[in-house]
């Protein structure tokens, strides 16, 4: 959500800074873009079929949804078609997991019919390297893998997600939260990328917070020796917590879930890794003790590549590092952990800004490694993506008014020109495509999770009640990322029809 639209809290300033600049949407048919020059650009998104319900695929699909909404495109997925316009087409293609089988499947696809082909995950690296030379009019993108791609691969891009700055922020958050008490780090295996990114960034962040606070934090570091031993991760964490450690950052895969188990059992803090584990495990016994997580925003990486292509007609080849500066890595903010971090956000936001501006030495200057033209473009006509939740009614009000009220409010928001409104039908179809297993209830935090999955920035909650002879319409806009109410309105009338007639005023009040 844009800072200039809702200037309310330093926490939101922190959240806003992470968002990539929206595209102008003016150039939808790039010149010299291979198949896209013959019609609307077509983009294929390859994901492993076995991982369809994983957090990784959810994040990828959030990026697909965001791009389709902003560039007025269509998503052709496993559950059908979702349309936001006809200027762009995404096709989601599940594949096998075996690299050899993936390559065979690629040769059988009409790769020449796509402008961009995304292989989401390291398993696609070798298959895309194998096929890209035969389809020079199609650009191939490997999402989240390490290592250079062939020099001759002018139509091949490798997108690397570096976690150092996110780990730095996690160190700051941990040290600020526990105030100089011992902190731990538990890694899976003692590998160079674990030490160089996760551990090094975390240690630097703790030391930096100490320098600002005038504290000294003892750090205890252990490695499980495996990424797949949950019990050993639990035992190692229990030993740390028993020795006085107040917070543990885990970068240990399945072994790290054991660390989260231990944190919940003893009632001390933990920090997750890669995905927003506080959101993922919100209903688990240990969920409330996950302070934050260092997260990769794979969908943001996909969005940035698409934006570059749609803005310039091409994507720079070779390996490109993305990180904090691009909004592709971060520490997690969600409605569950926001209350636990409110007192630390001013410090975290300040440190985050210094990291982005290069005022703090960092192992990854991601803003210097990805110099794409689209990143320098000013935002033009950017809108806030919202969805209007199903209205809640008090006893005595005909619930058949619900769809009418929801549609009327959506129309009123759309007509202001400031909002991109995701309709109920589009929302439901996106949820079917992204997370068929999500247990959707009327709980507000669950609805905010829904908003995140469909790439909405805010949700409008509506409550119509009757007190005596008066109808009262309570409406609020809630930030999807934090759960903080950013605007609210309450209107009353003796006539329910007047409530409907005054919706434009309600929306105007919410926007001011």
For 109-160, write each residue's pLDDT tens digit: 999 999 999 999 999 999 999 999 999 999 999 999 877 777 767 899 999 9
Q: How confident is the model at residue 183 (pLDDT cuts 50, 70, 90)?
A: very high
For 292-301, write each residue's pLDDT tens digit: 999 999 999 9
Look-up of token digits 């991601």: 366
pLDDT at 442: 63
pLDDT at 357: 79
Choosing from 246, 269, 294, the residue where a domain stops is 294
Is there a domain that residue 410 lies in? yes
Please indicate, yes or no, whether residues 421 and 454 belong to a single structural domain of this protein.
yes
Is there a domain that residue 2 lies in? no
Please indicate, yes or no, whether residues 177 and 80 belong to a single structural domain of this protein.
no
Is there a domain that residue 335 lies in? no
pLDDT at 490: 92
For 355-368, write each residue's pLDDT tens digit: 887 788 754 444 44
Q: Is pLDDT at 54 greater than 70 in this prediction?
A: yes
Task: For the beta carbon of residue 162, count every other beta carbon within 10 angstroms.
Answer: 25
pLDDT at 437: 57
Look-up of token digits 């194998």: 130
Look-up of token digits 């740390």: 240
CA distances, 198 to each of 5, 120, 138 (Å)? 34, 22, 35
Please indicate, yes or no, whether residues 99 and 113 belong to a single structural domain of this protein.
yes
Is there a domain that residue 320 lies in? yes
Mean of pLDDT values over 367-384: 63
Q: Is pLDDT at 370 greater than 70 in this prediction?
A: no
Please indicate, yes or no, whether residues 14 and 157 belong to a single structural domain of this protein.
yes
Element housing 299 (H / E): helix 298-312
Domain tally, the chain: 3
Which of the 8 DSSP states describes residue 88? -
Is there a domain that residue 5 lies in? no
User: Alpha carbon 355 to chain centroid distance?
Assistant: 20
Mean of pLDDT values over 162-191: 95
CA distances, 310 to each of 88, 375, 472 (Å)? 9, 12, 46
pTM recorded for the entire structure: 0.86
Which residue, among 289, 297, 310, has the nearest Cα to 241 in the 3D structure? 289
| 34-38, 77-81, 400-404, 405-409: range with lowest mean pLDDT | 34-38
Mean of pLDDT values over 447-470: 91
pLDDT at 376: 62
Extract the tokens encoding 64: 């697909």
Please indicate, yes or no, whether residues 301 and 400 belong to a single structural domain of this protein.
no
Is there a domain that residue 421 lies in? yes
How far is Cα 76 from Cα 35, in angstroms, rounded to an integer?
A: 18
**What CATH number does the domain containing 265 carry?**
3.40.50.2300
For 55-67, write each residue's pLDDT tens digit: 899 999 999 999 9
What does DSSP say about strands 384-388 and 290-296: parallel, antiparallel, or unpaired? unpaired
**What CATH number does the domain containing 466 carry?**
3.40.50.10070
Please indicate, yes or no, whether residues 97 and 130 belong to a single structural domain of this protein.
yes
Mean of pLDDT values over 75-80: 84
Judged on CB neighbours under 10 Å (0-12, 13-18, 19+), 265 is middle
How far is Cα 140 from Cα 116, in angstroms, rounded to an integer?
A: 6
pLDDT at 454: 93
Whether 492 contacts 473, CB under 8 Å: yes
What is the extent of the structural domain holding 170? 164-294
Which residue, among 473, 462, 456, has the nearest Cα to 390 in the 3D structure? 462
How far is Cα 151 from Cα 146, in angstroms, rounded to an integer?
A: 15
Whether 241 contacts 248, CB under 8 Å: yes
Is there a domain that residue 252 lies in? yes
Please indicate, yes or no, whether residues 301 and 157 belong to a single structural domain of this protein.
yes
How far is Cα 150 from Cα 162, in angstroms, rounded to an integer?
A: 20
Is there a domain that residue 208 lies in? yes
pLDDT at 359: 82
Q: Is pLDDT at 260 greater than 80 in this prediction?
A: yes
pLDDT at 362: 59
Choosing from 249, 271, 294, the residue where a domain stops is 294
pLDDT at 1: 34
Q: Is pLDDT at 20 greater than 60 in this prediction?
A: no
Q: Is pLDDT at 11 greater than 50 in this prediction?
A: no
Whether 96 contacts 312, CB under 8 Å: no
Please indicate, yes or no, whether residues 204 and 169 belong to a single structural domain of this protein.
yes
Element housing 459 (H / E): strand 458-467
For 379-432, write each residue's pLDDT tens digit: 545 789 999 998 998 888 888 888 889 999 999 999 988 999 999 999 988 988
Mean of pLDDT values over 246-259: 97
Look at residue 211 and give its three-state secondary structure: helix
Cα-based torsion angle of the residue sequence 256, 258, 264, 267 in order, rounded to the nearest 10 degrees: -80
Whether 255 contacts 232, CB under 8 Å: yes
Please indicate, yes or no, whether residues 152 and 35 belong to a single structural domain of this protein.
yes
Please indicate, yes or no, whether residues 78 and 202 belong to a single structural domain of this protein.
no
Please indicate, yes or no, whether residues 156 and 168 belong to a single structural domain of this protein.
no
Q: Is pLDDT at 19 greater than 70 in this prediction?
A: no
Please indicate, yes or no, whether residues 290 and 301 belong to a single structural domain of this protein.
no
Which of the 8 DSSP states describes residue 228? S
How far is Cα 392 from Cα 368, in angstroms, rounded to an integer?
A: 49
Strand locations in 41-180 (E): 42-48, 74-77, 80-83, 89-95, 116-120, 139-143, 156-161
Choosing from 277, 294, 311, the residue where a domain stops is 294
């Amino acid at each position: 959500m844009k800072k200039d639209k809702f200037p309310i809290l330093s926490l939101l300033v922190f959240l806003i800074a992470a968002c990539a600049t929206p595209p102008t949407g003016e150039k939808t048919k790039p010149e010299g873009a291979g198949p896209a020059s013959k019609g609307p650009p077509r983009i294929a998104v390859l994901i492993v079929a076995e991982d369809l319900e994983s957090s990784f695929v959810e994040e990828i699909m959030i990026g697909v949804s965001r791009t389709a909404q902003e560039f007025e495109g269509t998503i052709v997925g496993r559950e059908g078609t979702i349309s936001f316009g006809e200027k762009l087409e995404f096709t989601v293609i599940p594949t096998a997991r075996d690299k050899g089988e993936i390559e065979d499947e690629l040769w059988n696809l009409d790769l020449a019919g796509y402008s961009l082909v995304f292989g989401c995950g390291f398993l696609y690296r070798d298959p895309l390297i194998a096929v890209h030379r035969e389809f020079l009019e199609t650009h191939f993108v490997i999402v989240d893998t390490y290592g250079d791609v062939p020099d001759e691969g002018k139509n091949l891009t490798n997108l690397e997600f570096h976690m150092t700055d996110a780990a730095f922020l996690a160190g700051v958050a941990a040290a600020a939260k526990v105030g100089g008490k011992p902190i731990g780090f538990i890694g899976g295996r003692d590998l160079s990328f674990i030490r160089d990114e996760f551990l090094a960034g975390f240690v630097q962040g703790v030391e930096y917070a100490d320098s600002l606070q005038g504290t000294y934090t003892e750090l205890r570091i252990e490695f499980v020796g495996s990424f797949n031993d949950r019990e050993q991760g639990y035992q190692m964490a229990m030993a740390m917590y028993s020795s006085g450690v107040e917070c543990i950052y885990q970068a240990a895969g399945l072994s790290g879930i054991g660390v989260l188990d231990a944190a919940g059992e003893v009632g001390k803090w933990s920090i997750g890794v890669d995905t927003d584990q506080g959101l993922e495990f919100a209903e688990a016994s240990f969920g409330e003790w996950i302070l934050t997580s260092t997260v990769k925003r794979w969908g943001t990486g996909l969005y940035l590549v698409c934006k570059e292509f749609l803005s310039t007609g091409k994507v720079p080849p070779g390996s490109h590092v993305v990180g904090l500066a691009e909004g592709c890595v971060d520490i997690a903010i969600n409605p569950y952990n926001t209350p636990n971090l409110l007192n630390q956000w001013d410090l975290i936001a300040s440190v985050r800004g210094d990291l982005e501006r290069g005022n703090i030495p960092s192992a990854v200057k991601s803003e210097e490694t990805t110099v794409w033209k689209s990143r320098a473009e000013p935002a033009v006509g950017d809108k806030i993506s919202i969805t209007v939740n199903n209205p809640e009614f008090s006893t005595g009000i005909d619930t058949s008014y619900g769809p009418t009220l929801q549609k009327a409010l959506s129309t009123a928001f759309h007509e202001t020109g400031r909002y991109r409104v995701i309709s109920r039908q589009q929302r439901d179809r996106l949820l079917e495509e992204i997370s068929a297993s999500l247990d959707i209830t009327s709980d507000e935090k669950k609805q905010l999770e829904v908003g995140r999955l469909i790439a909405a920035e805010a949700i409008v909650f509506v409550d119509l009640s009757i007190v005596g002879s008066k109808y009262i319409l309570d409406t609020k806009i809630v930030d999807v990322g934090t759960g903080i109410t950013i605007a609210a309105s309450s209107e009353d009338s003796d006539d329910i029809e007047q409530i409907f007639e005054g919706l434009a005023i309600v929306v105007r009040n919410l926007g001011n």
